Structure 1
Amino acid sequence: MNAAVPSAPAGDGREERPRRAGPREHVAAAVGLLDRPLTSYYLVLGCSIMLLALGLTMVLSASLVQQIQATGSAYTLFQKQAMWMAIGLPLMWLASRLPVRTFRAFAYPLLLLSIVALGLVLVPGLGHSAGGATRWISLGPLLVQPSEPAKLALVLWGADLLARKERLGQLNEWRPLLVPLLPGAGMLVLMVMLGSDLGTTLVLLTIFLALLWVVGAPGRLFVGMAGLVCLLVAILIIVEPYRLQRLTGYLDPSQNQYTTNYQGTQGQLAIASGGWLGTGLGEGRAKWDFLPHAETDFIFAIIGEELGLVGTLVVLSLFGLLAYAGLRIARRVRDPFTRLAAAGATAWVVVQAIVNIGAVIGVLPITGIPLPLVSYGGSALIPTLIALGMLLAFAKREPGARQALAARGPGPVARALSWLGLARRQ
């Protein structure tokens, strides 16, 4: 008969080892982090900074060969992009500190300014055309694309308009819901369409549909508007021969690989040659005059070639986290304008990223829109940074966010000002 094993006497100095946390505990801890008041704030800020850093690095890598040939310096576009970032980041910081009423005050002036600027694009001598589209205003050495601020204008104006109607209880019928939202959005879309810019037209229509969805438009009305958008896009494709060629090339990529399908084919070859870990930063071959517009529309292909599948998954993860943060803000805030503007801005950035990446990997037709925060171009970068700064301002209005910020203490900017003796005395 086996004797019972005696238990260790108390106080013998031996202690039980702590039990290792299992997968469930790790998942619970991760979910707990996502439930914190400032999660949205730090996700928007962190994803934006990482995408900006990656974008600046890849702009240098993607453009150095072409710029050495054109200007003798590999850093020409890199320096310009860094300059745009130096302008956009302070604007992002300023937007993150503005009250909601300031964004609402800017809505109507920005909409009017966008319509005027889009009209100037169509003026002979001022408008600049490239790639079949007239998108830019030529201001000496600078090319400004007014359709980019128009996205921000539609977000602010549409959110303000619907928030006012919701407060007055005027969203029960389709007429007050669509008027004047539909004519205003239609004016912006028409101005962009006259410049043959299908990519920006898609983004503006996406913002319009996102606002209708968040405000709770009836299902029939939303489906009808979505069908109208699809019909409009089909008409835009049919009336322009080069767009129709892109569509047929997308449907049959094996044809015309050296003409209309050349850019898409080279982009997919670049991604395929990257493998798991890529060829190495700066070691890609597609930028050696094989892939057109490598630093703008097809910078994702350079990321796939030089950083491999891992690099592309990092980019997708950052945009996925940005989408989660933006929708979290829209779900948690109480103010109707804040909810609508957050959803509209998130739809703008995320859908534009999806359309760009989808075109590069061949699951969507090529539309010629840049990858937000990553592609070269100041006209797209600055409005996007302002929109992200607006999301940061809205994130501070989530439940418990103000208390968490107050408990955190002064930020680095406030500390720097205090060191200089410029901080406001309490």
Structure 2
Amino acid sequence: MSATTEEAPRRSAVEGPAGWLREQRGALKELLGKPLTTYYLIIGCSALLLALGLMMVLSASSIEALAKTGSPFSWFIKQSLSTAIGVPIMWACSRLPHRFFRWAGYPLMALSIIALVMVLFIGSSELGAQRWIYVGPFTIQPSEPAKLGLALWGADLLARRARQGRIEWRQLLIPLMPGTAILAVMVMLGRDLGTTLVLLMIFLSLLWVVGAPIKLFGGIMALAVLAAVIMIRVEPYRMARISAFLDPWADAQGAGYQAVQGQIAMGSGGWFGLGLGSSRAKWSWLPHGESDFIFAILGEELGLMGTLVVITLFGLLGYAGLRVAGRVNDPFIRLAAAAVVAWIVGQGIVNIGAVLGVLPITGIPLPLVSYGGSALLPTLAALGMLLSFAKREPGAREALAARGPGPVVRALSWLGLGGMNKGRARR
């Protein structure tokens, strides 16, 4: 009798953690099975990254903004205005049907090419790259909307090919490859290797989702590597960047200065950071701490834990986009969602990798976090598009209708700009 009573607690102690894990696994499975999981993941991750980005821009830019404009808040105010414009754009895109995005890719692609040509003639050259057009007090970087244009145009092009059964590799590449090449050449002529890499990621993701043969990827990658080698060899500053990437400490006061200062800032943060606003690197030590190297300032002020939170949010955002691509049957939506994931998450990986010293510095911002309205607005539009696509998941529209009017619709009704019943009817 006593032996039996001794074994019973032993079994329950063993089954306790295992049972708890089974319960948690079941709860997670139930959560992932809900029709609005993707929808809320996109909103939540985007909102958290935006809020974190605004805080970090305020901290990272305050010293340089004070020196250049006389106010420590000037760049933060500009970023806040960009966010105030971008969030309604995201909301508006989330309300648009997917047919609009199929159509929008063509004019956006054409306008991007025209704008990139204009950059070569009237653009401003800074830090060895010619990327910007000044329109009064505003700065426009045409290569940013070009990413969205390529994603939409390429997705519709391949979706039409797939519907027609024309998936032989030559039919997949024409005119997708020439169109991508035109964008890439225009961007490369402006000495923007980072954006060229992102365009290549979008291009490859489209081919991957449509089912292009593996040997085609090998050929494309070989051409890309050859083009990169040629670009590096013909431009001395790129060769200096590669040398600085391989051994930044060999020229810590020259070509490797930014990489070294970024690593020092990251290392200074420890586990939990020095605290918001307490960065030392932003005091004119780290160049472009508010944009290209904002992840280094974040690591210094919020520590390893803060950087892991950012990486987790990007991972969840990428998962949400791929979940849309996997749960919606429309070929265009699958292709466009995968392209947006390749763009946003891929660009995040390249930026973070450069700060950590595992990838060369390319000068591209961290999506949703870095300073810059030209990059923020197309990114928010793309995320709004993902929200629109997420509504087409099985059961999502019904769940949204059962939820009732959202806060934006209620706010508009309070202002007399739209009735709640109309909002419910639209759903």
TM-score by length of 1: 0.93
Amino acid at match of 1:26: Q
Contact 1:209–1:226, Cα closer than 8 Å, also in 2: no
Residue-pair matches, total:
409
Unaligned runs of 5+ in 2: 6-15
Pair member with larger Rg:
1
Query: Bigger CA drift: 368-377 or 253-262?
Result: 253-262
Distance 2:408 2:295 in 1: 33
**C-alpha displacement of 1:73:** 1.0
- Cα deviation 1:105-130 (Å, max 9, x = unaligned): 1111111100000000011xx21011
Q: Does 1:160 align with 2:160?
A: no
Partner of residue 62, structure 2 = 64
Partner of residue 345, structure 1 = 340
Amino acid at match of 1:271: M
Distance 1:329 1:387 in 2: 13
Taking a change above 3 Å as real, the CA distance of residues 84 and 420 of structure 1, as seen in their structure-2 partners, is closer
Partner of residue 94, structure 1 = 92
Distance 1:28 1:239 in 2: 57
Partner of residue 36, structure 1 = 34
Amino acid at match of 1:170: R
Distance 2:140 2:410 in 1: 36
Match of 1:82 among 76, 80, 90: 80
Match of 1:138 among 131, 134, 138: 134
Distance 2:219 2:200 in 1: 13
Distance 1:206 1:270 in 2: 29
Partner of residue 328, structure 1 = 323
**C-alpha displacement of 1:420:** 4.2
- 1:153-192 matches, within 5 Å, as 153-171=149-167, 173-192=168-187
**C-alpha displacement of 1:326:** 0.6
Structure 2 counterpart SS, 1:152? helix
Partner of residue 147, structure 1 = 143
**C-alpha displacement of 1:399:** 1.1
Unaligned runs of 5+ in 1: 6-18
Structure 2 counterpart SS, 1:32? helix
Match of 1:23 among 18, 21, 24: 21
Amino acid at match of 2:336: A
- 1:226-245 matches, within 5 Å, as 226-245=221-240
- Cα deviation 1:133-168 (Å, max 9, x = unaligned): 100012222211000000000000000100111111
Distance 2:240 2:33 in 1: 48
Distance 2:245 2:230 in 1: 17
RMSD, aligned α-carbons = 1.6
Distance 1:418 1:304 in 2: 42
Contact 2:350–2:359, Cα closer than 8 Å, also in 1: yes
Identity among equivalent positions (%) equals 64
Q: Does 1:302 align with 2:264?
A: no
Partner of residue 247, structure 2 = 252
**C-alpha displacement of 1:253:** 2.5
Distance 1:281 1:189 in 2: 38
Distance 1:164 1:178 in 2: 13
The structure where helix makes up a greater share of residues is 2
TM-score by length of 2: 0.93
